[in-house]
Amino acid sequence: MRRPLVAGNWKMNGTTSHAWRLVNEMTDAASSLEALDVVICPPFILIPQVVKQCEGTEFAAGGQNLEVHAEGAYTGEISGSMLVDHGCSFVIVGHSERRNLYGESDALVAEKTATAHACGLRPIVCVGETLEERENGRTASVVERQVRAVIERAGMGVFPAGIVAYEPVWAIGTGQTATPRQAQEVHALIRGLLRQENSDVAAQIRILYGGSVKPDNAPELFAEEDIDGGLIGGASLEAADFLAICRTATH
Ligand code: 13P
């Protein structure tokens, strides 16, 4: 049995006061969330506050990105070792917004995954196809290319501590969720690819679904065999919604 994991990706949202309320509401309910890993990924600047608020709970914090170099003249960047220094244990890598808006290639995502692992962070590696790719029947080949790039550069050693998140780009922030069947199909494909490399790792690794997950669609998504939790955007900014999604994952 894989332990479910639900991660909240706040993206570029949240003030100090909003974060304060949100995390307090969540930590108040933490004891009701058993047999589940919960990760909060706020913007960099809110990480110290969120880490402090999560002290004494099982909640973990994560970054949304990292730079591959450890330190130096990289204006505006944050390294993996800095995330560790500030109490993070996870980091999101290769989110489609990073790939599409900031031009992150498969090679760079793979490099960042290797760096995260080397720093002691658990990478949450995001993969997923665009609408155009899906409509052209290229979902499997795109996801396979993205996963293989990570395996080739970072090796299977980054898993099972690492996580894969399948986030179809067309489902992110659109309210258009993949059907449980569509999601399960890709999750099974990803696990199958990993199985070709190492069947134990494939059996253990958690594969999350992300893309317009809400309290009402989470139950049927999380019921699928290869969906081990979710990477939640918009709904992670509302404590009640995020908690409801977390509770669904424990069933
Ligand atoms: P939404 O849940 O807002 O669709 O975002 C998903 C996502 O991109 C999480 O990383």
**What's the pTM?**
0.97
Residue 197's pLDDT is what?
A: 96
Residue 32's pLDDT is what?
A: 86
Residue 40's pLDDT is what?
A: 98
As a whole number of angstroms, the distance between CA 73 and CA 81 comes to: 15
Q: Which residues of the chain are modeled with pLDDT < 70?
A: none
Residue 21's pLDDT is what?
A: 97
Give distance in angstroms: CA of 213 to centre of ligand 1.
Answer: 7
Give distance in angstroms: CA of 210 to centre of ligand 1.
Answer: 6
E strand intervals along 78-186: 90-93, 122-127, 163-166
Residue with tokens 């004891």: 31
The CA-based angle 23-27-32, given to 5 degrees, is 140
Q: Which of 104, 133, 167, 187 is catalytic?
A: 167
How far CA 116 is from CA of 103, 111, 124, 137, 204, in Å, comes to 19, 9, 10, 32, 19
* Residue span of the structural domain in which 36 resides: 5-249
Residue 128 zone, left/alpha/beta (φ > 0; ψ -120 to 50; rest): left
As a whole number of angstroms, the distance between CA 39 and CA 166 comes to: 17
As a whole number of angstroms, the distance between CA 10 and CA 26 comes to: 14
- Per the annotation, the verdict on 132 as an active-site residue is no
As a whole number of angstroms, the distance between CA 217 and CA 209 comes to: 12
Into how many domains does the chain fold?
A: 1
CB atoms within 10 A of CB 13: 15
Q: Is ligand 1 within 6 A of the CB of residue 237?
A: no
CATH number, domain with residue 120: 3.20.20.70
